[in-house]
Chains A and B, each alone.
Chain A
């Protein structure tokens, strides 16, 4: 059962029904015992009243009510019965209702009379009390003070009456408990159902709101203050998740838009160039240029696709890392040579402070990828005539490489975005050789190598990348 409401209702109903049954099991026997006790009390009281009526005298015992019997002891449908025995056990008197029948002789002493169930002579269920007693002998006492007549005239009496009315009452009580209980269970079911529905309404509302969320409604936030205390942590967590989800969707949308732009422009170029070359194939000069440009566009697309694939592999943890001692100075120098032409074309000043023995323990290919992308980025985005500084120095247990360059237009808010794939500060995305993947790739490589990678704007119009590289040997770094 997955519904909280159903589970709550079932548990509450089971619990309440159990309590009711337990209550009924306690109530009925208790009431039955009380009624029976009352019945016995009345029976005993009547028996005691009757015991005052026998009148002992010198001739024996005179049972006054035997001569003028009470109406309930006459033969009639609701008759009661009594029978009196003398001390020797011989029947002495009986109610007319008994006619010739006898009552069972089960008698207790006067202070502990015996109660028992029996079937009355007329077949009705009944209950009787048997009591032994000594009739009071006022006259004899007056005549012969001190005579012990009591011992001589001890008699026993059994008084019986039917229990039909008592049983009817008990049956009625039982029926009332059962019917009332059933009704109560029905009412409880209604109350519990209504209560749980009302109690769970905030949960249902929350669930309904959550169900209604899709990619277009990620701005939804829950008014946490109006939520019940139990749901408040859920609401707060949902709000935080929605904010993160919205940011992730925005990044994805932006990535898709950027990727579409990065791909659509070269596709448009390819299509237009191919169309023009086919249409004006007689213009050999133009078509020759177009072929070279088609190749250039295809290479740009290939570069973009490879960079994206490489990024995806890194992010999926599929980097093939082989740690080995790498001379960072040689590696950086090798990478710098790749950009010599562009550096001189753009009149960039290089300030190089890399000790010749700067040894790192890292993966050569991935480290080369980091250095290449960082230098490529620096050379591309340093304004013409600007400065690029590269420094490697000991830091904690390893080396710290700092690559800084003059840069214009970057603000602190741009720094986190620099790592978003395909993000570019230049909205026109004019630098076609750069798709905005250099820094994300360098970061992905650094993560794969467990390096700390950070960016900063250390001073006005300067951008800086900091990379902490594990040292490669006991020599660490030494000045060249």
Chain B
């Protein structure tokens, strides 16, 4: 899952960025409003965490412009503006959630998780894939109640495919969501992760859960 954090405080960028990365998200960070708007329009993010008082372009203006362009990315406003009027204005401008500073990192991460689920039409944190249960809150996978050990990279890939099940994701889509722009991606990292994931989630002899669409990408059918 890929998140854009638009926040002009470098300290908050670091703390929030770390919390989101530790939660398994790929995080792009900027402190400038203009750049934030550009990033949001150029990339597909799962959640946009947006400060309101920003240099360059005000956060509320970024939100309005994105919604006007038809951008459906869930937006979490993160601001010191705490009055009811400010909240109402933010939510009516198209924000999906509103969190005031100071805040708990844990709460911020939980809200981001919730926004991602809602963004993919899921209400429950548990996604059922046949006899597999993927818990997006505890970030665990279980088969028939028995835990299945996954590396963070495998979990992130499975979560992406599970939340967008039925949708063919290209290798570029997957790289973008799992590694972001700044990280150099080895050419076969997606394939090797898919391979190791299949070994863990597919019972021997059964139809693979993650299917390859030659020339197109991968799709999870459940």
Mutual binders A and B: yes
Residues of A within 8 A of B (CB): 260-261, 264-265, 267-273, 275-276, 279-280, 283, 286, 289-290, 293, 296-297, 426-430, 432
The answer to whether A265 and B101 touch across the interface, beta carbons within 8 angstroms, is yes
Residue on A nearest B83 in the bound complex, by CB: A257
CB-defined contacts of A280 to chain B, threshold 8 Å: 18, 22
CB-defined contacts of A283 to chain B, threshold 8 Å: 18
B55 within 8 A of A: yes
What are 30 A-B contacts defined by CB distance under 8 Å? A261-B80, A264-B80, A265-B9, A265-B80, A267-B102, A268-B101, A268-B103, A269-B11, A269-B12, A270-B102, A272-B12, A272-B19, A273-B11, A273-B14, A275-B15, A275-B19, A276-B15, A276-B105, A283-B18, A286-B14, A289-B14, A293-B10, A296-B11, A426-B55, A427-B58, A428-B53, A428-B54, A428-B58, A430-B8, A430-B31
From B8, B31, B55, B102, name the one whose CB has the most chain A CB atoms within 10 angstroms: B102
Docked CA distance A279–B19 (Å): 9
Residue on A nearest B19 in the bound complex, by CB: A276
CB-defined contacts of A296 to chain B, threshold 8 Å: 11
> How many A-B pairs fall under 8 Å by CB?
78
Residue on A nearest B10 in the bound complex, by CB: A293
Name the distance in Å between A47's Cβ and chain B's nearest Cβ. Answer: 104
The answer to whether B53 and A432 touch across the interface, beta carbons within 8 angstroms, is no
Chain B, range 37-59, C-beta contacts under 8 Å to A? 53-55, 58
Docked CA distance A280–B102 (Å): 19
Across the A-B interface, the 3 shortest Cβ-Cβ residue pairs: A268-B101, A272-B15, A268-B102
Question: A283-B18, A427-B53 are known contacts; what are 14 more A-B pairs with Cβ within 8 Å?
Answer: A261-B53, A267-B101, A267-B102, A268-B12, A269-B15, A271-B102, A272-B16, A276-B18, A276-B19, A279-B22, A280-B18, A293-B11, A428-B54, A432-B9
Name the distance in Å between B103's Cβ and chain A's nearest Cβ. Answer: 7
The answer to whether B105 and A272 touch across the interface, beta carbons within 8 angstroms, is yes
The answer to whether A290 and B80 touch across the interface, beta carbons within 8 angstroms, is no
Residue on A nearest B104 in the bound complex, by CB: A275
Name the distance in Å between A119's Cβ and chain B's nearest Cβ. Answer: 98
CB-defined interface of B1-28 with A at 8 Å, one 1/0 digit per residue?
Answer: 0000000111110111011001000000
Docked CA distance A276–B12 (Å): 10
Partner of B8, one of A286, A289, A428: A428
The answer to whether B53 and A429 touch across the interface, beta carbons within 8 angstroms, is yes
CB-defined contacts of B8 to chain A, threshold 8 Å: 428, 430
From A272, A286, A429, A432, name the one whose CB has the most chain B CB atoms within 10 angstroms: A272
CB-defined interface of B176-218 with A at 8 Å, one 1/0 digit per residue?
Answer: 0000000000000000000000000000000000000000000
Name the distance in Å between A339's Cβ and chain B's nearest Cβ. Answer: 22
Docked CA distance A426–B58 (Å): 11
Residue on A nearest B8 in the bound complex, by CB: A430
Docked CA distance A261–B31 (Å): 17
Name the distance in Å between A432's Cβ and chain B's nearest Cβ. Answer: 7
Residue on B nearest A283 in the bound complex, by CB: B18
Partner of B15, one of A261, A273, A430: A273
From B8, B54, B80, name the one whose CB has the most chain A CB atoms within 10 angstroms: B80
Residue on B nearest A293 in the bound complex, by CB: B11
CB-defined contacts of B106 to chain A, threshold 8 Å: 275
Name the distance in Å between A118's Cβ and chain B's nearest Cβ. Answer: 100
Name the distance in Å between A137's Cβ and chain B's nearest Cβ. Answer: 122
CB-defined contacts of B58 to chain A, threshold 8 Å: 427-428
Chain B, range 95-130, C-beta contacts under 8 Å to A? 101-106
Docked CA distance A279–B15 (Å): 11
Docked CA distance A271–B99 (Å): 14
CB-defined contacts of B14 to chain A, threshold 8 Å: 273, 276, 286, 289-290, 293
CB-defined contacts of B11 to chain A, threshold 8 Å: 269, 272-273, 293, 296-297
The answer to whether A290 and B101 touch across the interface, beta carbons within 8 angstroms, is no
CB-defined interface of B73-108 with A at 8 Å, one 1/0 digit per residue?
Answer: 000000010000000000000000000011111100
From B11, B18, B104, B106, name the one whose CB has the most chain A CB atoms within 10 angstroms: B11
Partner of A264, one of B18, B19, B101: B101
CB-defined contacts of B55 to chain A, threshold 8 Å: 426, 428, 430
CB-defined contacts of A432 to chain B, threshold 8 Å: 9
Partner of A279, one of B9, B10, B105: B105
Name the distance in Å between A176's Cβ and chain B's nearest Cβ. Answer: 75
Docked CA distance A137–B196 (Å): 172
Docked CA distance A260–B100 (Å): 12
CB-defined contacts of A290 to chain B, threshold 8 Å: 14-15
Residue on A nearest B52 in the bound complex, by CB: A428
Docked CA distance A428–B19 (Å): 24
Docked CA distance A211–B35 (Å): 52
Residue on A nearest B101 in the bound complex, by CB: A268
Docked CA distance A187–B14 (Å): 86
CB-defined contacts of B31 to chain A, threshold 8 Å: 430
Docked CA distance A279–B101 (Å): 19
CB-defined contacts of A430 to chain B, threshold 8 Å: 8, 31, 54-55
Docked CA distance A290–B33 (Å): 25
CB-defined contacts of A429 to chain B, threshold 8 Å: 53
Name the distance in Å between A13's Cβ and chain B's nearest Cβ. Answer: 56
Name the distance in Å between B84's Cβ and chain A's nearest Cβ. Answer: 14
The answer to whether B22 and A268 touch across the interface, beta carbons within 8 angstroms, is no
Name the distance in Å between A132's Cβ and chain B's nearest Cβ. Answer: 111
Residue on A nearest B106 in the bound complex, by CB: A275
The answer to whether A268 and B105 touch across the interface, beta carbons within 8 angstroms, is no
CB-defined contacts of A265 to chain B, threshold 8 Å: 9, 12, 80, 101
Name the distance in Å between B21's Cβ and chain A's nearest Cβ. Answer: 10
Name the distance in Å between A274's Cβ and chain B's nearest Cβ. Answer: 9
CB-defined contacts of B105 to chain A, threshold 8 Å: 272, 275-276, 279
Residue on B nearest A286 in the bound complex, by CB: B18
From B12, B15, B31, B80, name the one whose CB has the most chain A CB atoms within 10 angstroms: B15
Residue on B nearest A270 in the bound complex, by CB: B102
Docked CA distance A265–B15 (Å): 13
CB-defined contacts of A260 to chain B, threshold 8 Å: 80
Docked CA distance A273–B16 (Å): 8
Name the distance in Å between A269's Cβ and chain B's nearest Cβ. Answer: 4
